[in-house]
Structure 1
């Protein structure tokens, strides 16, 4: 053990342990490139799974899904650059964060596509983006209205509501089809899940964080001899190109669809807020409300860009936050390099076609793990909630119950007007509204009862 330094002379780090970069510090180009690539690999699967799942559920063809993937990566790269480098005093938290498509929007987008069409999907996304730009500052000041009680309930529902989509990719959505739930498809999906589990159990560090990506690659290799792959469209795709704005036509703005996507934007804000605060703590630069507002405004910008460029709403990716904590590399320029790489990937249509051609059981297996992980994150968030004598158990129970209703009974609101079906029929929208309003009722409106100890369960009195 080394001798302690004199009090008047601060200790210098050993040569083998260079000082950890601060948020604004640059690194040598070679190291920047490798660290940026690492961030891209960690978030890539989660980012492209959103257009894959949405495209399949919306019954889009492979070529169109490829376009969505490219647009998704392009917008994610641009928003990552905005978040890490900032735009004046208006946009970007200026921290080492990476943005990517959020799962929160998937279920509402599927519902809107079915009710109103793709033009309404992207019209409502643009409207939600404008709403996000306007609401960023008020939300940053009113974050107390979205405590772990609300966010945990909503995140849990996000994961649960998407598991059925993953099941449809694995087994198929037509129960009368000859290959519906074919044992070979189920076995392939099971093998991919097993591979992800093995990677998570027996590897460490960076390798353990790309288990889902390894599962996708491994599953695709197995699917080739099974005859489940078709990459014929890849050859016709260009090596370089940009998805044309408004690919599906001029945007439409049905009120119900806009309301639903604005609620999704608020949920996205809660996701990004938690992650930005976490990165601020890691880098030793706590995030002030105005900086938080700039970061949330970048989420709003993703809605506008996504709506125009056929992309998706973006949020700060938690897996990249975890990577910052693991590597201790805190330079925001690393995130900027990752953003540049995502932009380049978004400009390569062949890459989008390759990903869009992945077999359904492969994508479904990866999605199953990722969606269930989202559910687990929500449950973990709820661990921070005080339940005894607070009424919080009722809030969580009712919110999850209302949210799951359209998942287990998709036609439950069929007798209501279309706008009601769009808002209430979205598990995420209905759960968010329920949790938010019940939290106000129990904890913010006057006349609420004081906290009292919860009674002991009846069974405990009969215990020997």
Structure 2
């Protein structure tokens, strides 16, 4: 059961993850027929498995998947365009295979170095507890626009993929709704055998557990049949044979390893430019932590868990830089949506999914096989999942007084302006001109991240506009910031918060008084504040 549920998480994340190498490889002058594309896809999936295991075991310890991040795409493209000639200006046709290989490897090494060095900033922010300083002032009206805009900002990604063939997308959406909502309480009998009782029937709620997996497989199979029957015209995104070239060229077995493209190179401009993406990724991840906890039925993550989560994500970006994925890692909103649809919030399931990523990352052809999932199918899945994330963000409003005009202003303005600024920059690229290219890049990336703009506005407005703690929802919301060690052991909330404890040595950690000063320790009390 865990393997099937883990495979479902893998299928949910693989579509968005492999999109990143497909965007980057043309910029790096890698030809469509070059097997290097398959190696980079395998590498990013393999590294995603490593970081997901680290995050779910030692980091935030929520069932949250780690994968490539689009936040780093803008600075990556800027670095390539600034530091290197465009591929059109290079005589690639007259180059030997070794020379063409060096052309793209020089580029990816520059990106590797920028990501790995800038990620040190994220590690410091997490493990020193600086993120926790901000968390003590993060309120429901700061969390709602942040998490809500995570879902709303992704609508264009879902719509663009679904628009390739709305018929297939609607079919996928209908199947997911049918399985996850209408048939969720229908148990399907499966034959079982026990030597004591003999043959019997075991009832499994497969529609509730596997709505994403079943919808993808059925729509994928339907597209394969229509492709074989030549119903779809050549080049249509609903066809399943568009990436068969990658499937043929991929090796059966590959083992990604650190420095496989050479030693990463570092430039000051590249590191500072990449910092903008790292900042945006951190802000998005904090919103994802709260969304994942809420949708998985866990209490809001305490400060020590968020500190560890951000620190582990920084380590994940360093690993991604050293391994050479061409990208970093961040928490995946898509898989949080999958938890909302399936109602399975098990940490073990995500850890099993991480092992599947590691295995498939080493099996090149198996990894490439899942690349054949048509984009309209992925778009249909995203339409359902991103809507769940948006709804989860709005559900935090239960803590605040919605009869307050103050709260309605903070909420409405934060969300609306967050969407407006990112749309304005999308329509006017390059409009930020401070005279310093690095500063322009940082400002552009941050303002293009709608959850950063909306969350920052919610944070500032809710903490500066006068309002009572009860009106702002602080009496209920900030209860989780109290030190769990100060609570009665029989307290239900204290028992729930144990899900954020480290998987080992907890008795020793509680016995050492100095651990309460360590920002990533479950006994940490340094930045706690109590709302009376």
Shared fold (TM-score, shorter chain, > 0.5): yes
Do 2:132 and 2:306's aligned partners in 1 also have CA atoms closer than 8 Å? yes
Q: Deviations over 1:349-375 (max 9, x none)?
A: 112212223323222222333333322
Query: For residues 9-408 of structure 1, what are the structure 2 equivalents within 5 Å?
Result: 34-35=1-2, 37-55=3-21, 60=26, 61=32, 66-86=38-58, 92=59, 95=61, 97-101=63-67, 105-106=69-70, 108-117=71-80, 125-127=115-117, 129-136=119-126, 137-171=129-163, 185-204=165-184, 205=205, 207-224=207-224, 225-226=226-227, 227=232, 228-230=239-241, 231-243=244-256, 245=259, 250=265, 253=270, 255-272=272-289, 275=292, 289-309=303-323, 310=325, 312-315=328-331, 318=336, 326=344, 336-389=351-404, 391-405=406-420, 408=423
Counterpart secondary structure, 1:240: coil
- Whole-Å Cα distance in 1 between the matches of residues 338 and 450 of structure 2? 29
Gaps of 5+ in 1: 1-33, 87-91, 173-184, 455-464
SS class of match (2:245): coil
Contact 1:126 1:307 in 2 (8 A): yes
Q: After the TM superposition, which of the residue ranges 158-167 and 416-425 deviates more from structure 2?
A: 416-425
Match of 1:429 among 440, 449, 452: 449
CA distance in 2, matches of 1:124, 1:437: 29
* Distance in 1 between residues matched to 2:416 and 2:283, nearest whole Å: 20
**SS, match of residue 435 in structure 1:** helix
**What is the DSSP-based 3-state SS (H/G/I as helix, E as strand, rest coil) of the residue aligned with 2:145?**
helix
Change (3 A) 1:435 1:368: same
Q: Which runs of 5+ in 2 are unaligned?
A: 27-31, 81-106, 185-204, 233-238, 472-532
Q: CA deviation at 1:80?
A: 3.5
**Offset of residue 156 of structure 1:** 1.9
Alpha-carbon separation, structure 2, partners of 1:277 and 1:375: 12
* Cα distance in 1 between the residues matched to 2:162 and 2:357: 28
Closer/same/farther in 2, CA of residues 393 and 131 from structure 1, 3 Å limit: farther
C-alpha separation in 2, matches of 1:298 and 1:82: 7
Contact map agreement 1:48 1:72 (CA 8 A) in 2: no
Q: Secondary structure at the match of 2:66?
A: strand
CA–CA distance in 1 between the matches of 2:25 and 2:42? 18
Determine the C-alpha separation between the residues in 2 that align with 1:292 and 1:125: 21
How many residues in Structure 1 have an aligned counterpart in Structure 2?
Answer: 390
Give 1:256 deviation, angstroms: 4.1
- The question of whether the paired residues in 2 share the 8 Å contact of 1:76 and 1:314 is answered with no
The equivalent of 2:196 in structure 1 is none
Cα deviation for residue 271 of structure 1 reads: 2.2
CA distance change for structure 1 residues 427 and 203 in 2, over 3 Å: closer, same or farther? farther
Partner of 1:440: 460
- For residues 159 and 306 of structure 2, what CA distance do their matches in structure 1 show? 37
CA positional deviation for 1:314: 3.3
Change in Cα spacing, 1:159 to 1:452, as seen in structure 2 (3 Å) is: closer
CA displacement at 1:134 relative to structure 2: 1.0
3-state DSSP of counterpart to 1:391: helix
Deviations 1:370-412 (A, max 9, x none): 3333222222234444344373333333332333235544223
Q: Is the 8 A contact 1:157 1:428 kept in 2?
A: no
**Partner SS state of residue 331, structure 2:** strand
Q: CA deviation at 1:201?
A: 2.4
RMSD: 3.9
Q: Give how far 1:304 is off.
A: 1.6
Deviation of 1:84 after TM superposition, in Å, equals 5.0
